[in-house]
Amino acid sequence: MIGIFDSGSGGLTILDALHRRLPDQDFLYLGDHANAPYGHRSNDQIVEMTRRNVSALFDAGCTLVVLACNTAAAVALRTLQQKWLPQAYPGRRILGVLVPMVEAITGVPWSQEHPVGHDGSGKTILLFATQKTVKSGAYVEEIAKRAPAIRLVQKACPGLVDAIEGGTGPRPLAGLVEGYVAEALDDAGVIPDAVLLGCTHFPLVSSYFEAALPEGVELFCQPDVVAASLEDYLTRHGEFRRKGSGKIRLMTTGKPGDVDLTDSYLPPHLCRFEGGLS
């Protein structure tokens, strides 16, 4: 069984793409709604809350956990992988959503830092993300290691996640996205070569980003990129590829009745949560 963790509900976009690509794989999703959002938390708090929830997924039988939260992946992933996981759960794995996106943008495998001939000369990339992800600088740092000539322009989108989860109507949502895109284009000063949606909620409104961007700009959405990357990982690491019945179970650290996603932009089968895992 594969675990999917997010601070809230945005990671359900990743789960949906994974389920479509790996229909016979069992998934257990855990949203830390009791402590969401993570954006205003300190780095130490984010590491500790991520560690606690990943532990809950491992204890529930998961052998691999995907951090389907850009904030958790940017702030906590490396610390947990290097300092906690080998002693606490040897043989288990934690992956994140940031790595596949960096690979997709740069065209360089994660294992290759400062590769020869992959500098990304002349490219301007726009990154739309939460304030915490932007502040972490994780995308800037990792892209620079692999394609140092890529110019990455970051744009935080405060309020967009809350609007998406709250079921805000199409017109106000489109207006929010249009405003952020206009500001980012002004900051960039040029038409970008590509746009990276660095929040797992944002693919739910990707059509609004596409409408607001200049024609022909390539849009990188995390669900499909991450799903393809995980399928490749499971092909190379068969010990984590355990076929099941395709069961999906959604858990929350909050009260299931308070996590009402029926008016959100998510498919109906991803809106019914249980409690009690963490």
Q: How far apart, in whole angstroms, are the C-alpha atoms of residue 270 and residue 186? A: 37
What residue ranges define each of the domains in the chain, with the CATH number in brackets?
Answer: 2-96+224-275 (3.40.50.1860), 99-221 (3.40.50.1860)
**pTM, rounded to two decimals:** 0.90
Is the per-residue pLDDT at 193 higher than 60?
A: yes
Helices (H), the chain: 12-21, 43-59, 70-75, 77-79, 85-88, 98-106, 131-136, 138-146, 160-165, 170-188, 206-212, 222-236
- pLDDT score for 39: 79
Q: What percent of the chain has pLDDT over 90?
A: 73
Q: What is the pLDDT of residues 207-241, one digit of tens each?
A: 999 999 999 999 999 999 999 999 999 999 999 98
Q: How far apart, in whole angstroms, are the C-alpha atoms of residue 205 and residue 164? A: 8
pLDDT confidence bin for 265, thresholds 50/70/90? low
Q: How far apart, in whole angstroms, are the C-alpha atoms of residue 2 and residue 106? A: 27
Verify whether residue 199 is a known catalytic residue. yes
How high does pLDDT run on average in the chain?
91
Mean pLDDT score, 40-68:
96
Q: What is the DSSP letter of 114?
A: S
Buried b (16+ CB within 10 A) or exposed e, 46-85: bbebbbebbbbbbeeebbbbbbbbbbbbbbbbebbeeebb
Mean pLDDT score, 167-194:
94
User: In this structure, are strands 124-129 and 194-197 parallel, antiparallel, or unpaired?
Assistant: parallel
Mean pLDDT score, 2-27:
94
Q: Residue 81 region, left (φ>0) first, then alpha (ψ -120 to 50), else beta? A: alpha
Mean pLDDT score, 176-197:
97
Verify whether residue 62 is a known catalytic residue. no
What are φ and ψ of residue 195, in 5° steps?
-125, 135
Q: How far apart, in whole angstroms, are the C-alpha atoms of residue 198 and residue 153? A: 12
Is the per-residue pLDDT at 73 higher than 70?
A: yes
Mean pLDDT score, 45-64:
97
Tally of CB atoms within 10 A around 202 = 27
pLDDT confidence bin for 87, thresholds 50/70/90? very high
- pLDDT score for 55: 98
- pLDDT score for 244: 86
Catalytic residue chosen out of the listed positions 69, 157, 221, 271: 69
> Do 193 and 170 form a contact (C-beta atoms < 8 A)?
no
Mean pLDDT score, 30-58:
94
Q: What is the pLDDT of residues 126-158, one digit of tens each?
A: 999 999 999 999 999 999 988 999 999 999 999
- pLDDT score for 46: 96
pLDDT confidence bin for 40, thresholds 50/70/90? confident
| Higher-scoring residue by pLDDT: 148, 89 | 89
Mean pLDDT score, 160-182:
90
pLDDT confidence bin for 198, thresholds 50/70/90? very high
Q: How far apart, in whole angstroms, are the C-alpha atoms of residue 219 and residue 202? A: 11
Q: How far apart, in whole angstroms, are the C-alpha atoms of residue 248 and residue 254? A: 19
pLDDT confidence bin for 120, thresholds 50/70/90? low
Amino acid in position 68: A
Mean pLDDT score, 109-126:
70
- pLDDT score for 112: 64
Catalytic residue chosen out of the listed positions 62, 157, 199, 221: 199
> Rounded to whole angstroms, what are the CA distances from 161 to 37, 71, 93, 131?
9, 13, 28, 11
